[in-house]
């Protein structure tokens, strides 16, 4: 029980302590931001930091810190450690610096920034990865709610797919302040209130949250490394978040708002993920009970109804329908902007927005025939690959600006090791067994950091002009 509250305290403290250091390290100042110099009334529209915080939180959350945290809880309280330290030193830094660097470069999307700092080959690769990730996230968050609504109403999945898709098209095409800027802050605040209500009910009803442990309690014996670090993405670190930081980075009037909107939103998401992981373990009496529950949507439904009664039914409806839809439409919005930037089509014109969006939704319509589970299997890999490249991009930005590069370089190296091991070991990877995947991950992770440290030394000896 104490571990949970200590973990929450650490996350909140990190915002004021480590977040403040990161702000100073980056060197935020009062220069004009993209929304001041490039306001187009569509994607570059001023939004105050309070609304931006709640929109960013909702955009990066959806069901990620709920379903991902529940899946990660299968390893037991060890999940608490990754959520806390991953959120503080990897995910929050990733989201914050991705947003700030985009603001320093006229609101450019992540692939273009990766191309600037890591080279054109990396840019081409990440453009493909990013668009695939955004489309899959968007489709998964059409398919999931549609399947749930079918079970609730008896109306066919195809009709719900059509209705949700119509909303996505409207939300993707309209200026960001028309729907997203008005409704999403309310949804974001509601999600926070619901999580607090669930935890309060859990404690009032006498459930016991286990203390932090390094022990692997996964019922199937699946290794903690690298699988838990990929399964728990939202709440620890997620590449998808960088695409959403760009959206809000185009709307903030001051760089000083970045810590509140980006680092703050990720800290809140870490608390949400930590809370759901704790609730899942406590409610089902451990990982064996959690495994028998069926996990995912089934576990969410049972927990919510049991802890909150009739209000829980509303929570389930809101959680599995409204939240994923709100994340799905911003995924498509990010995909539209990424494609538009890649091919050089400005988006102030409504006609141009249709030109880019039409083929995007045609592809999405075809892929939506796949089930939610099938789609979601491909999210984890592309998501963490994007996060790894984004961290390295941030690291090279810091090197070129003579800043402390270790704040992003160390988590980038760690994630490089995680993804290397995952590719070597995972069923959708090379399926290698034994110690080779672990050695491979450790070696590649360390070597990558050593090379960047050497790059940093060279830059200090030769001197770099500041990039921004």
Q: For residue 144, is it within any domain?
A: yes
Question: What torsion do the CA atoms of 335, 340, 341, 342 make, to the nearest 10 degrees?
Answer: 90
Name the packing angle between helices 18-26 and 92-104 (round to 10°).
Answer: 30
Q: For residue 390, is it within any domain?
A: no
Q: For residue 411, is it within any domain?
A: no
Cβ 395 vs Cβ 452: under 8 Å: yes
Q: How far apart are CA 345 and CA 374, in angstroms?
A: 33
**CA separation, residue 131 to residues 9, 134, 220, 323, 336 (Å):** 36, 5, 33, 21, 9
Q: How far apart are CA 320 and CA 73, in angstroms?
A: 19
In sequence order, the 6+-apart residues with CB closer than 8 A to the CB of 391 are 90, 93, 94, 408, 409, 411, 412, 415
CB burial string 327-338: b at 16+ within 10 A, e below? bbbbbbbbbbbb
In sequence order, the 6+-apart residues with CB closer than 8 A to the CB of 399 are 405, 452, 455, 456, 459, 464
Q: Find the distance separating the first CA and the last CA of the chain, reported in whole Å.
A: 46
Residue with tokens 């200590």: 6
Q: How far apart are CA 237 and CA 92, in angstroms?
A: 7
Q: How many domains does the chain have?
A: 1
CB 177: neighbour CB atoms within 10 A? 17
User: What's the sign of the alpha-carbon dihedral 85, 89, 94, 95?
Assistant: positive
Radius of gyration of the chain (CA): 21
Res 224: pLDDT: 95
Q: What are phi and psi of 150, to 5 degrees?
A: -60, -45
The domain of 141 spans 2-371
Q: For residue 34, is it within any domain?
A: yes
User: What's the sign of the alpha-carbon dihedral 215, 287, 228, 3?
Assistant: negative
Cβ 298 vs Cβ 320: under 8 Å: no
Q: What is the CATH number of the domain that holds 44?
A: 1.20.1740.10
3-state secondary structure 379-401: HHHHHHHHHHHHHHHHHHHHHHC
**CA separation, residue 347 to residues 73, 173, 179, 251, 343 (Å):** 42, 9, 18, 15, 11
**Helical H segments across 205-294, by residue range:** 227-231, 239-249, 258, 264-283, 287-293
402's torsion region: left (phi>0), alpha (psi -120 to 50) or beta?
left
Q: For residue 209, is it within any domain?
A: yes
Q: For residue 256, is it within any domain?
A: yes
Res 154: pLDDT: 82
Cβ 195 vs Cβ 57: under 8 Å: no
Q: What is the pLDDT along the chain (468 residues), one digit of tens a residue?
A: 788 999 999 999 999 999 999 999 999 999 999 999 999 888 899 999 999 998 899 888 877 788 889 999 999 999 999 999 999 999 999 999 999 999 999 999 999 999 999 999 999 999 888 888 888 877 777 776 777 677 667 888 788 888 888 887 887 777 877 777 777 777 777 778 888 888 999 999 999 998 988 899 999 999 999 999 999 998 999 999 999 999 999 999 999 999 999 999 999 999 999 999 999 999 999 999 999 987 777 788 788 888 888 777 676 666 666 677 777 777 888 888 888 887 888 878 888 888 888 877 777 777 666 655 556 667 778 899 999 999 999 999 999 999 999 999 999 999 999 999 999 998 878 999 999 999 999 999 999 999 998 877 766 666 544 555
Q: What angle do CA 324, 149, 181 make, to 5 degrees?
A: 35
In sequence order, the 6+-apart residues with CB closer than 8 A to the CB of 16 are none
Q: How far apart are CA 333 and CA 135, in angstroms?
A: 10
Q: Token digits for 20?
A: 């403040």
Q: What angle do CA 140, 223, 440 make, to 5 degrees?
A: 95
Cβ 125 vs Cβ 342: under 8 Å: no
Q: For residue 186, is it within any domain?
A: yes
Res 465: pLDDT: 46
**CA separation, residue 264 to residues 53, 109, 153, 197, 271 (Å):** 7, 21, 38, 21, 11
Residue 429: strand, helix, or coil: coil
Q: For residue 221, is it within any domain?
A: yes
């Amino acid at each position: 029980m104490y571990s949970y509250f200590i973990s929450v305290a650490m996350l909140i403290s990190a915002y004021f302590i480590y977040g403040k250091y990161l702000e100073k390290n980056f060197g935020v100042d009062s220069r004009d931001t993209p929304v001041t110099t490039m306001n187009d009334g569509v994607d570059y529209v001023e939004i105050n930091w309070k609304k931006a915080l709640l929109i960013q939180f909702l955009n990066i959350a959806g069901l990620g810190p709920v379903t991902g945290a529940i899946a990660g809880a299968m390893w037991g309280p060890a999940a608490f450690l990754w959520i806390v330290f991953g959120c503080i030193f990897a995910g929050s830094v990733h989201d914050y610096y991705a947003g700030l660097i985009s603001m320093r470069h006229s609101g450019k999307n992540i692939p273009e920034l990766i191309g600037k700092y890591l080279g054109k080959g990396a840019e081409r690769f990440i453009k493909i990865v990013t668009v695939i990730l955004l489309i899959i996230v968007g489709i998964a968050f059409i398919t999931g709610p549609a399947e749930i609504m079918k079970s609730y109403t008896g109306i066919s999945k195809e009709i719900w797919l059509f209705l949700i898709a119509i909303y996505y098209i409207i939300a993707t095409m309209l200026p960001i302040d028309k729907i997203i800027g008005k409704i999403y802050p309310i949804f974001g605040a509601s999600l926070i209130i619901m999580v607090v209500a669930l935890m309060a009910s859990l404690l009032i009803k006498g459930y016991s949250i286990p203390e932090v442990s390094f022990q692997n309690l996964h019922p199937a014996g699946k290794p903690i490394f690298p699988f838990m670090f990929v399964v728990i993405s939202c709440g620890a670190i997620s590449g998808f978040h960088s695409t959403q930081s760009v959206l809000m980075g185009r709307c903030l009037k001051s760089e000083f708002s970045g810590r509140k909107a980006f680092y703050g939103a990720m800290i809140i998401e870490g608390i949400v993920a930590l809370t759901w992981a704790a609730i899942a373990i406590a409610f089902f009496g451990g990982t064996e009970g959690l495994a028998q529950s069926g996990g995912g949507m089934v576990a969410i439904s049972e927990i919510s109804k049991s802890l909150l009664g009739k209000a829980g039914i509303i929570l389930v409806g809101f959680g599995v329908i409204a939240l994923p839809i709100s994340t799905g439409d911003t995924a498509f919005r990010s995909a539209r902007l990424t494609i538009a930037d890649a091919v050089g089509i400005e988006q102030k014109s409504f006609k141009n927005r249709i030109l880019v969006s039409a083929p995007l939704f045609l592809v999405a319509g075809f892929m939506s025939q796949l089930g939610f589970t099938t789609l979601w299997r491909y999210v984890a890999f592309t998501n963490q690959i994007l996060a790894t490249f984004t961290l390295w991009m941030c690291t090279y930005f810091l090197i070129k600006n003579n800043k402390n590069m270790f704040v992003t370089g160390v988590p980038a190296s760690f994630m490089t090791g995680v993804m290397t091991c995952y590719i070597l070991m995972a069923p959708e990877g090379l399926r290698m067994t034994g110690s080779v995947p672990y050695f491979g991950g450790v070696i590649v992770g360390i070597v990558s950091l050593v090379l960047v440290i050497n790059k940093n030394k060279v830059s200090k000896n030769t001197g770099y002009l500041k990039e921004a």
